[in-house]
């Protein structure tokens, strides 16, 4: 049987000697019904009370039915009386059994009458369960009934639940502890076996190496890098060195063989490709040519832009950037940019740019311009394009023009009228 609310009559039944006079209490039965239990010091000739917290659906049984009482119940109120003058004798027991639609929280508006029709003072009483043994650790002076919860100092655990003896501090009293101390990795109490750095019980792996890793063999290389691959090398035996002996046997020396195979010799290849030959380029860059005046390198049919070399990382000289349109060298792949590019060429060689951009020595800065593919450059612009017409107007001979490349791209490109 489950007790939701303790009652005095239950105590009386259980103890046979402990009762609270003139009280009513509730007891929940296992079948869904509830007993209204009583303890009275006088005969009961009639009663009425309200049930709190739920709805009453019926009432019957108990000492009231035994005494022949008429019983009636509304949704909240229970009434019992005798038409023949019968009474419920003084004492304790079950007054009546109720059918409830939920869980009752108490009884209120209790009216109990004696044979003279006088009211008997009654109250609803809730019994307190707990430990009633004053010698127990958890004695409850407010408890009415011992619920079996008493806890005692058993000389192993005190009233605070702490061990009197717990040498290893594991929270298990020594009297109950199967190992006062600690288990090793082989589960031996106070054993010596331990796991190595690799997690092997009793293993011999250790932290080692310059990286202090388990079983590491790493060492620092000559550059001080742990696990690095730098080594002493080179003719100077330095860390990571690539130094080699030059042709004269000097470590990391600068002596080199000339084209004739002589160490630190002076023989060079001439413009005709002959070692130690005497061929030289003339003023116009022609090998073994005869021209000595650079001004004669421009005739009435050709305008040269000399020595345009691929250099994708080069920065344009400031003087060329002063000439509006220089960026179209890279982007000159569309017809609408032709005039802008032509204006730039005109500025450089027509006198609009600063003087230092016109100096023959400074014009070699064109070597720094990015490379373009001469074939696609010419092919996309074609005869009669804006660029061709613009360039043609610059040429002394007039007429049409086109862009062609020399046999060697590093020799540059030229604008030539046709």
Question: pLDDT tens-digit profile of 48-92?
Answer: 999 999 999 999 999 999 999 999 999 999 999 999 999 999 999
Helix ranges (DSSP H) in 226-366: 318-321, 328-331, 338-350
Q: Could you tell me if 313 and 411 lie in one domain? A: yes
Structurally, how many domains does the chain consist of?
Answer: 4
Is 368 in a helix, a strand, or coil? helix
Q: Could you tell me if 78 and 179 lie in one domain? A: no
Summarize pLDDT for 276-291 with one digit per residue, the tens.
Answer: 888 898 888 889 888 8
| Per-residue model confidence (pLDDT) at position 340 | 59
Sheet holding 70-73, edge to edge: 70-73, 77-81, 46-52, 106-113, 119-120
Q: Is 209's pLDDT higher than 50?
A: yes
Which CATH number covers residue 46?
2.60.40.680
Domain residues for 65?
Answer: 8-130
Helix ranges (DSSP H) in 194-337: 318-321, 328-331
Q: Could you tell me if 303 and 374 lie in one domain? A: yes
Is 389 in a helix, a strand, or coil? helix
Average per-residue pLDDT for the chain = 75
Please report, rounded to a whole number, the percentage of residues in the chain having pLDDT higher than 70.
Answer: 66
Average pLDDT estimate for 244-257? 91
Query: Which one, of 361, 362, 360, 347, lies nearest residue 316 by Cα?
Result: 362
The answer to whether 298 touches 283, Cβ cutoff 8 Å, is no
| Per-residue model confidence (pLDDT) at position 30 | 81
CB count in 10 Å sphere of residue 116: 6
Rounded distance, CA 93 to CA 31, Å? 19
Q: Is 413's pLDDT higher than 50?
A: no
Summarize pLDDT for 89-116 with one digit per residue, the tens.
Answer: 999 999 999 999 999 999 999 999 999 9
Structural domain contains residue 237: no
Average pLDDT estimate for 356-372? 41
Structural domain contains residue 3: no
Structural domain contains residue 103: yes
Structural domain contains residue 315: yes
Q: 207: which strand partners?
A: 214
| Per-residue model confidence (pLDDT) at position 14 | 40
| Per-residue model confidence (pLDDT) at position 366 | 43
Q: Of 279, 297, 315, which closes a domain?
A: 297
Q: Is 315's pLDDT higher than 90?
A: no
pTM: 0.36
Q: Could you tell me if 329 and 392 lie in one domain? A: yes
Q: Of 270, 297, 324, which closes a domain?
A: 297
| Per-residue model confidence (pLDDT) at position 343 | 60
Q: Could you tell me if 29 and 81 lie in one domain? A: yes
The answer to whether 163 touches 177, Cβ cutoff 8 Å, is no
Structural domain contains residue 281: yes
Rounded distance, CA 367 to CA 369, Å? 6
Is 403 in a helix, a strand, or coil? strand
| Per-residue model confidence (pLDDT) at position 31 | 86
Q: Could you tell me if 126 and 176 lie in one domain? A: no
Question: What confidence tier does 367 reach under pLDDT thresholds 50, 70, 90?
Answer: very low
Q: Could you tell me if 288 and 303 lie in one domain? A: no
Structural domain contains residue 88: yes
Structural domain contains residue 92: yes
Q: Could you tell me if 204 and 106 lie in one domain? A: no
Q: Could you tell me if 77 and 119 lie in one domain? A: yes
Sequence-distant (6+) residues with CB within 8 A of 75 are 55, 56
């Amino acid at each position: 049987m489950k007790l939701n609310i303790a009652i005095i009559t239950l105590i009386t039944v259980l103890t046979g000697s402990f009762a609270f006079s003139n009280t009513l209490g509730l007891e929940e039965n296992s079948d869904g019904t509830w007993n209204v239990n009583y303890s009275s010091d006088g005969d009961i000739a009639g009663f009425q009370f309200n049930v709190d917290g739920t709805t009453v659906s019926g009432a019957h049984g108990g000492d009231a039915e035994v005494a022949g009482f008429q019983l009636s119940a509304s949704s909240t109120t229970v009434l019992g009386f005798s038409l023949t003058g019968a009474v419920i004798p003084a004492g304790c027991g079950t007054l009546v059994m109720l059918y409830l639609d939920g869980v009752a929280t108490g009884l209120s508006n209790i009216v109990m009458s004696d044979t003279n029709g006088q009211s008997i003072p009654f109250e609803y009483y809730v019994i307190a369960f707990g430990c009633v043994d004053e010698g127990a650790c958890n004695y409850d002076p407010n408890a009415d009934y011992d619920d079996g919860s008493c806890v005692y100092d058993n000389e192993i655990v005190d009233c605070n639940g702490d061990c009197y003896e717990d040498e290893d501090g594991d929270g298990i009293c020594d009297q109950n502890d199967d190992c006062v101390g600690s288990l090793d990795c082989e589960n031996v109490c106070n054993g010596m076996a331990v796991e190595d750095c690799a997690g092997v019980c009793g293993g011999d792996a250790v932290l080692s190496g310059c990286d202090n890793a388990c079983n590491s063999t790493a060492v620092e290389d000559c550059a001080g890098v742990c696990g690095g691959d730098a080594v002493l090398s080179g003719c100077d035996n330095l860390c990571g060195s690539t130094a080699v002996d030059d042709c004269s046997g000097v470590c990391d020396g600068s002596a080199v063989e000339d084209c004739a195979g002589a160490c630190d010799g002076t023989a060079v290849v001439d413009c005709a490709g002959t070692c130690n030959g005497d061929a030289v380029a003339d003023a116009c860059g022609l090998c073994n040519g005869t021209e000595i005046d650079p001004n004669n390198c421009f005739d009435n049919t050709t305008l040269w832009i000399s020595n345009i070399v691929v250099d994708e990382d080069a920065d344009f000289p400031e003087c060329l950037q002063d000439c509006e349109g220089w960026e179209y060298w890279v982007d000159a792949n569309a017809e609408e940019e032709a005039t802008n590019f032509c204006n730039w060429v005109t500025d450089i060689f027509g006198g609009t740019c600063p003087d230092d951009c016109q100096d023959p020595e400074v014009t070699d800065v064109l070597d720094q311009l990015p490379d373009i593919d001469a074939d696609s450059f010419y092919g996309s612009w074609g005869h009669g394009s804006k660029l061709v017409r613009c360039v043609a107007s610059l040429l002394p001979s007039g007429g049409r023009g086109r862009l062609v490349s020399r046999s060697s791209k590093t020799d540059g490109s030229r604008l030539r009228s046709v």
